[in-house]
Chain A
Amino acid sequence: MPSASQIRALIVDDQASIRQVLASHMAALGFKGVVQRKDGKEALDYLETNPIHLVISDFNMPGMDGLALLEAVRSNPKTAKLAFIILTGEANAGLVQKAVAAGVNNFLAKPYTVAKLKETLEKVFGSIR
Chain B
Amino acid sequence: MGDVMDDILKIFFEECDELLPELERGLGELSAEESSQETINAIFRAVHSIKGGAASFGLDRLVRFAHVYESALDGLRSGKVEPDPAIIKTFFLAMDVLSDLVAEAKHTGDEVDEGRIDENVRKLEAIIGKGGGAPVSSEVGETPVPDDFTPVTVDLGGFDFDEPAEGGGEPPQMLTVTFRPHSDLYSRGDDARNLLMGLKELLPVEEAGAMDVVCHMQDLPALADLPAEDARLGWTVRLPELSSSGIEDEIQAVFDWVGDVCDFQIVRDGQPEGETEPEPVEDTTIQENAPAAPVPVEVVERVAQADSSPPAPAAAPAKVGRKREQNASIRVDIGRIGMLMDMVGEMVIGQASLESALTRDALYDPELLKRLAVIKTLTRDIQEAVMAIRAQPVRNVFQRMQRVVREASSLANKDVALVLEGEETEVDRTLIENLTDPLTHMLRNAVDHGIESPEARQAAGKPTQGTIWLSARHRSGRILIEIRDDGGGINTQRVLQTAIKRGIVASGASLGENEINELIFAPGFSTAETVSDLSGRGVGMDVVKQAIQNLGGRVNIKSTPGKGTLFTLSLPLTLAVLDGMLIECRGSTMVVPVSSVVELVTVQKKDDVYTIPDGSHVVSVRGRCIPLIYLGDELTLPDDGGLQEETHHMGRAGEEGQMIVLVVENEAGARAALVVDGVRDQAQVVIKSIEKNYRQINGVSAATILGDGSVSLILDVSTLIVSATKRVDTRALEAIAERAA
A contacts, CB < 8 Å to B? 1-3, 5-8, 14-18, 20-21, 23-24, 27-28, 32-37, 49-51, 53, 60-62, 81-83, 88-93, 95-97, 100, 103-107, 109-111, 120, 123-126
A15 and B154 in contact, given A21-B8, A33-B243, A53-B161 (Cβ under 8 angstroms): no
Contact (A89, B51) CB under 8 Å given A34-B243, A36-B245? yes
Q: Which of B264-294 contact A (CB under 8 A)?
A: 268, 270-271
A32 to B171, CA, bound (A): 7
Provide the B3-35 mask, 1 if CB < 8 A to any CB of A, else 0. Answer: 011001101100100000000000000000000
Contact B154 A37 (CB under 8 A): no
Taking a contact as CB atoms under 8 Å apart, the answer to whether B11 and A91 are in contact is no
A88 touches which of B144, B242, B243 (Cβ 8 Å): B144
Query: Which chain A residue shows the least CB distance to B158?
Result: A81
Across the interface, name the chain B residue whose C-beta is closest to A126.
B153
7 contacts between A and B (CB under 8 A): A2-B156, A6-B169, A33-B171, A50-B270, A82-B154, A89-B141, A93-B146
Contacts of B270 in A (CB 8 A): 49-51
Other 6 A-B pairs with CB < 8 A, given A17-B15, A60-B45: A24-B4, A35-B245, A51-B163, A92-B144, A96-B146, A123-B151
B11→A16 contact, CB < 8 A: yes
**Chain A residues within 8 Å of B245, by CB:** 35-37
Contact of A17 among B51, B56, B159, B241 (CB under 8 A): B56
Q: Does B149 contact A (CB under 8 A)?
A: yes
Check if A109 sits within 8 Å of B143, measured CB to CB: yes
B151 touches A6 (CB 8 A): no
The answer to the question of B223 belonging to the interface, with a C-beta cut-off of 8 Å to chain A, is no
Judging by beta carbons under 8 Å apart, are B156 and A90 in contact?
no
A15 contacts which chain B residues (CB < 8 A)? 12, 15, 49, 52-53
Name the residue on A nearest B67 (C-beta). A89
Query: In the complex the two chains form, is A7's CB within 8 Å of B56's CB?
Result: no
A124 and B152 contact, Cβ closer than 8 Å, known pairs A50-B270, A53-B159, A89-B48: yes
Q: Is the CB of A27 within 8 A of B243?
A: yes
Which residues from chain A contact B151 at a C-beta distance below 8 Å? 105-106, 120, 123-124
CB neighbours (8 Å) of B56 from chain A are: 17-18, 21, 110-111
Q: How far is the CA of A97 from the CA of B57 in the complex (A)?
A: 29
Query: Is B141 in contact with A109, judged by CB distance below 8 angstroms?
Result: yes
Name the residue on B nearest A8 (C-beta). B172
B374 within 8 A of A: no
Residues of B at under 8 Å CB distance from A? Answer: 1, 4-5, 8-9, 11-12, 15, 42, 44-45, 48-49, 51-53, 55-58, 63, 74, 137, 141-146, 149, 151-156, 158-159, 161-163, 168-169, 171-173, 240-245, 268, 270-271
> A73 to nearest B CB, angstroms?
12
Cα separation A33 to B58 with both chains bound (whole Å): 27
Q: Complex: how many Å from CA A58 to CA B669?
A: 59
Complex Cα gap A124–B245 (Å): 25
Residues in A neighbouring B171, C-beta threshold 8 A:
32-33
* CB-CB under 8 A for A110 and B141, given A1-B156, A17-B53: yes
- 7 smallest beta-carbon distances between A and B, as pairs: A111-B55, A17-B12, A123-B151, A106-B151, A81-B158, A6-B161, A83-B154
Interface centre among B49, B51, B242, B270 (most CB of A within 10 A): B49
**Alpha-carbon gap, A81 to B155, bound state (A):** 7
Is B145 within 8 A of A107, CB to CB? yes
Cα-based distance from A18 to B173 in the complex (angstroms): 23
Task: Give the CA-CA distance A90 to B144 in the complex, in Å.
Answer: 6
- Tell me the nearest residue of chain A to B146, going by C-beta: A96
Partner of B172, one of A32, A37, A62, A124: A32
Across the interface, which residues of B come within 8 angstroms of A3, CB to CB? 168-169
CA distance A124 to B149 in the complex (A): 13
B144 and A105 contacting across the interface, CB-CB below 8 Å: no
Contacts of B74 in A (CB 8 A): 90, 92
B393 CB to closest chain A CB (Å) equals 23
Chain B proximity of A54: nearest CB distance (Å) = 8
- Chain A nearest CB from B24 CB (Å) reads 17
Partner of B48, one of A1, A24, A53, A60: A60
Instruction: Please give, as numbers and ranges, the residues of chain A lying within 8 Å of B241 by CB-CB distance.
Output: 33
CB distance from B322 to the nearest CB of A (A): 13
| In the complex, residue of chain A having the shortest beta-carbon distance to the beta carbon of B49 | A15
Q: Which residues of A contact B63 (CB under 8 A)?
A: 111
Whether the pair B8, A17 counts as a contact (CB closer than 8 A) is: yes
Q: Which residues of A contact B168 (CB under 8 A)?
A: 3, 5-6
Report A-chain residues with C-beta under 8 Å of the C-beta of B42: 62
Contact of A35 among B149, B152, B161, B243 (CB under 8 A): B243
